[in-house]
Structure 1
């Protein structure tokens, strides 16, 4: 069945990918970032249908980067040979066992359309995707014509990372910050780490931010979200 993924360009060389028929809680934003020497695929959805098989971005080499190991960001991660993420979640990537799969299966309307004939929700599971490369805070991913600095921004999960193009201020924040309900009550979340991340983000200069959920945002909105979180958690 065609059309499981929805795509649209959001800036030069950047395509937003979503799964519109997945429950909103698990409907993440995925990004294809084109480069001269290779592309980045940032995050991988639920893995209900194959990201690499369903979407054609050509034959350029791909660096697959997982912002963190939660179910809605790693479903098709195993489909790529070059898999990068933060060492804090190395074990999670290697196993990808019951990472919120029971929660997803329990939802009324987990999917609003059958992804393919014969698909059964109760058979859904993640495929392990061991990391082949670690990305740490301050590392640089150089595409030849664009350079991204890796930011380690824990709180939502221990190994949350984001990518910043310092040349133009384009910020791919994943689940470190986004313009929607933030989750800090998960089994691997840390409010203390999240507060530190929000304070760090208050000092960050960006032109546009693309989160792991919700719409894109500018610097003023990012600071508003961060300050609201700090007030809520410290108040």
Structure 2
């Protein structure tokens, strides 16, 4: 297998003047998650941190001296891989202590190690899935329902959105309606059959999301969505989970 070309491990899509999406196109689709970067006046925000197979920070075009708040919406491997690269690490209270050890029982990193087609190009010479390990990234701020993340010119309210995982959180800019849903909701097949998933709790989260006043949503996987599409995703899940 060939090594991924230099500078191409991450695919960058500019959404608007503040939001950029990064993807890892050489990672197996099941584990290829969205990485969102939000520019703020006083601080920038990273929502989820991918697999950690290649350094993420060189791809972000960071501003020297400007703080970056790196936030994990939950502790699954495809969202926490590069969290260790950042000084300010934010994550959910439900799994807060586990970020210091990144156990397979919560991250599911062992599932990636056992894939024959884990990647379509190597992240580094001689790499194999057996080499995959998550670097511990102890949280510097533990987030709970109602906490506010202030970037200077905009702020996000933390929403606890369990079901897919016990620790799932999302972020809502209540002024603009900009919403980051993590793996609680995204425009692709939603997963509720993992060992730590809870379908009854997930249904409650979906009922809550029905009332959320969003303008645009960015999920942990798949394309972005508007309020109408989010309603369709919710209703489809509730029908399937009934």
TM bucket by the smaller chain? over 0.9
**Deviation (angstroms), 1:54:** 4.1
1:10 aligns with 2:15: yes
Q: Name stretches of at least 5 consecutive residues in structure 2 with no aligned partner.
A: 1-5
Following the alignment from structure 2 to structure 1, what is the Cα–Cα distance between the partners of residues 14 and 44? 15
Distance 1:186 1:91, change over 3 A: farther
Selected match of 1:97 from 103, 109, 124: 103
1:183 aligns with 2:191: yes
Following the alignment from structure 2 to structure 1, what is the Cα–Cα distance between the partners of residues 10 and 224? 19
Q: Name stretches of at least 5 consecutive residues in structure 1 with no aligned partner.
A: none
Following the alignment from structure 1 to structure 2, what is the Cα–Cα distance between the partners of residues 153 and 182? 13
1:20 aligns with 2:28: no
Give 1:173's aligned residue: 181
Selected match of 1:74 from 72, 80, 98: 80
Listed one character per residue, the Cα deviations across residues 115-171 of structure 1 (whole Å, up to 9, x for unaligned) are 122322211110111111111111111111011111110111111111111111111
Following the alignment from structure 2 to structure 1, what is the Cα–Cα distance between the partners of residues 204 and 234? 10
2:36–2:48 Cα contact (<8 Å) kept = yes
Give 1:64's aligned residue: 70
1:26-37 equivalences in 2 (<5 Å): 26-37=31-42
**Deviation (angstroms), 1:223:** 1.0
Following the alignment from structure 1 to structure 2, what is the Cα–Cα distance between the partners of residues 208 and 2? 29
**Deviation (angstroms), 1:108:** 3.1
Selected match of 1:42 from 42, 47, 56: 47
Q: What TM-score do you get using the length of structure 2 for normalisation? A: 0.93
Give 2:151's aligned residue: 143
Selected match of 2:130 from 122, 125, 146: 122
Secondary structure (helix, strand or coil) at the match of 1:180 reads coil
Following the alignment from structure 2 to structure 1, what is the Cα–Cα distance between the partners of residues 84 and 174? 29
Query: How big is the alpha-carbon RMSD for the aligned residues of Structure 1 and Structure 2?
Result: 1.2
Following the alignment from structure 1 to structure 2, what is the Cα–Cα distance between the partners of residues 196 and 12? 34
Deviates more, 1:114-123 or 1:161-170: 114-123
Deviates more, 1:198-207 or 1:102-111: 102-111
1:97–1:128 Cα contact (<8 Å) kept = no
2:9–2:25 Cα contact (<8 Å) kept = yes
